[in-house]
Structure 1
Amino acid sequence: MNVQEAVLRRRDLLLASIALAIVPTPVRGAVAKAERVVSLDYGLASTMLALGVTPTAVVALRNWDEWVVEPRMPAGVIDLGTTAEINLEVLTSIEPSLILSTPFLAALDEKLSEFAPIMTFTIYAEGGDALDRSYAETLRLGATLGRSDEAKALLAGADAFFERLRERLYRLSAPPVAVINFLDQRHARIYGGPGLYGGTMRRIGLRNGWTGQASYWGFETIGLEQLASLDEETHLIAVEPLIPRDVLSRLQESALWTGLPFAQKHRVSTIPGVLMFGMVQEAMRFGALVVDTLEAAHR
């Protein structure tokens, strides 16, 4: 058994164990009435679209284009407001057949269960890898929506897609990569651990330049001075939106920043926004953007 076969076998075993641990509670009528499904989570809404089902409503829809970017949400989907202030009048008018949620939003269950059954999907939690969980929960969502074949096809396509990215990186002899979101001119989130970005990097064979801690959400908040611990060959990738927008130009005036190896070697790139708390589609998009960026920078 070669290394790649071993990795895939381990992943399949993990998926099987996750699936057994999260056997869903049956939701009566969910498949039959999939046309009125509400999502409280961007990743679940994105996965619905990939399976050929358009959600009736999504929370915080007005921010979708900024944080998810792709896929585009079809016209006519209703904005439910924020999770902190869901528009209950709109929810009543929709008469949803099913509400998709996550453990992070469990405090809403009691109130929202008056409107429709709630089905909880676990992607980000202790003791698991977000990408592995995304695979397992995509199969659950597909079964719930009557789209099991589409879910299996999506995951088979994702496997093939990740393998092509791995092959491109192998030909490139890619350097280690550190991925950040700027929070301001002095702080950032840096990604790794069991989160979606970190899992995607491992899946495509890309070494993470950040070897420090990361929560199950997949990031650690750091001061920019901590970037000095990165491997000298690391390529830094910042995910948009940049906060503040001119942060990179401002940092050119910082002796700390300009003294860091990646800044001195001009190994700093930005990529468009990718939902960091997403699922399989977001992992594919993130992987493609990173590999495209490295190919352009290291030819």
Structure 2
Amino acid sequence: MRMWISLLALCLGLMPALAATQQTSPDTPAIITLDWTLAETLTAIGHPPAGVAQIADYHSWVGKPILPADTIDLGLRSQPSMELMAAMNPDLLLITPMFANMADQLKAIAPVVTVPLYDPQADTWQTLEDMTRALGRMAHRETAAQALIRETTTMLDARRARLHGCGPLLVIQFADDRHVRVYGGNSLYQHVLDRLGIRNAWTGAVNRWGYRLLALHELAKLNGRIVIIEPVPLGTLARLQNNALWRGLPVVKRQPPRVLPPVWSVGGLPSVQRFARLLEQMACKP
């Protein structure tokens, strides 16, 4: 209870300062968002959101682009601070369908726009391009949005030729010392692999987020080079060096796994570029 009272007092104390800093012109609309994919895309086109939920976790899971130091942390993605967001007086509050249950409540703060993302029934690449253009219009950064789309297409085409012969790859994240999320389906990783002509070693079913949770022993029958996407639970990689099950897996013994910095598994075009770049630099080297 005391924590919430302190938070409310902080929000109330910040209100005059926030109101002063959020004075905007039609050319610089103040946008806040709970969603990291929208946040990274807005940042990439030169209009970073004024506020984002769970900023520290954004940097742990998304990596780059880094949010400006003055970006305000809105609290938990599932339980953002309504008082703080209201005090910021934003022009727009952007969400994705993941946050649809909060839409009515958020509308009391600012106009809410729901941006579609990663619908298994839709063309993912078209959705990502449409999302980028929509954000460009809302942020008045249409030219930058179009440039991001062109740059992404150009860099993928260039890397496809250079990465010929890479793979198959098995893209995973560690849930804990004994379980991994293996990615395929509608994940960003799968779509980038497809665009680069790299075969995914995992062809099994996945959940709506594009992964399947497997115990370590279930990797025994799989082939390909393991690509571990950070973040990794603290101490896990060190403990794996003494884990006989892990060290004995054929997929581990055949080729040393590669560890990549964070790339958001349901990210936008900035994450697409980041993953493709890291595959070339770190995963597809002999």
2:184–2:206 contact (8 Å) kept in structure 1: yes
**Structure 1 residue 34: deviation in Å?**
4.3
Matched, 1:272 2:264: no
Residue 177 of structure 1: which of 165, 169, 186 is its match? 169
Structure 2 residues not aligned, in runs of 5+: 1-23
Matched, 1:108 2:78: no
TM-score, structure 1 length as denominator?
A: 0.83
Partner of 1:187: 179
Report matched runs for 1:22-61 at 5 Å. Answer: 32=26, 34-61=28-55
Within 2, Cα distance between the matches of 1:294 and 1:242?
A: 17
TM-score, structure 2 length as denominator?
A: 0.86
1:189–1:220 contact (8 Å) kept in structure 2: yes
Partner of 2:151: 157
Q: Could you say if the C-alpha distance between residues 31 and 285 of structure 1 is closer, same or farther in structure 2, counting changes exceeding 3 Å?
A: farther
Q: How many residues align?
A: 263
- Aligned-residue RMSD, C-alpha: 1.9
**Structure 1 residue 251: deviation in Å?**
2.8
**Structure 1 residue 135: deviation in Å?**
1.6
Cα deviations by residue, 1:71-93 (Å, 9 ceiling, x for unpaired): 11112111110123211221121
Within 2, Cα distance between the matches of 1:248 and 1:62?
A: 22
**Structure 1 residue 259: deviation in Å?**
2.5
Cα deviations by residue, 1:224-245 (Å, 9 ceiling, x for unpaired): 12212312xx1001111112x3
Residue 220 of structure 1: which of 206, 212, 217 is its match? 212
Within 2, Cα distance between the matches of 1:289 and 1:119?
A: 32
Give every structure 1 segment of 4 or more consecutive aligned residues whose post-TM-superposition deviation is greater than 6 Å. none
1:102–1:120 contact (8 Å) kept in structure 2: yes
Cα deviations by residue, 1:3-58 (Å, 9 ceiling, x for unpaired): xxxxxxxxxxxxxxxxxxxxxxxxxxx99364311111111011111111121111
1:60–1:79 contact (8 Å) kept in structure 2: yes
2:50–2:72 contact (8 Å) kept in structure 1: yes
Within 1, Cα distance between the matches of 2:76 and 2:211?
A: 23
Structure 1 residues not aligned, in runs of 5+: 1-29
3-state SS of 1:220 partner = strand
Within 1, Cα distance between the matches of 2:80 and 2:241?
A: 42
Amino acid at match of 1:143: R
Cα deviations by residue, 1:138-188 (Å, 9 ceiling, x for unpaired): 112112222222211110110011112111111xx2120011110111111
Partner of 1:7: none
Within 1, Cα distance between the matches of 2:221 and 2:169?
A: 13
3-state SS of 1:270 partner = strand
3-state SS of 2:176 partner = coil
Report matched runs for 1:62-141 at 5 Å. Answer: 62-141=56-135
> Kindly, what percent of the aligned residue pairs are identical?
32
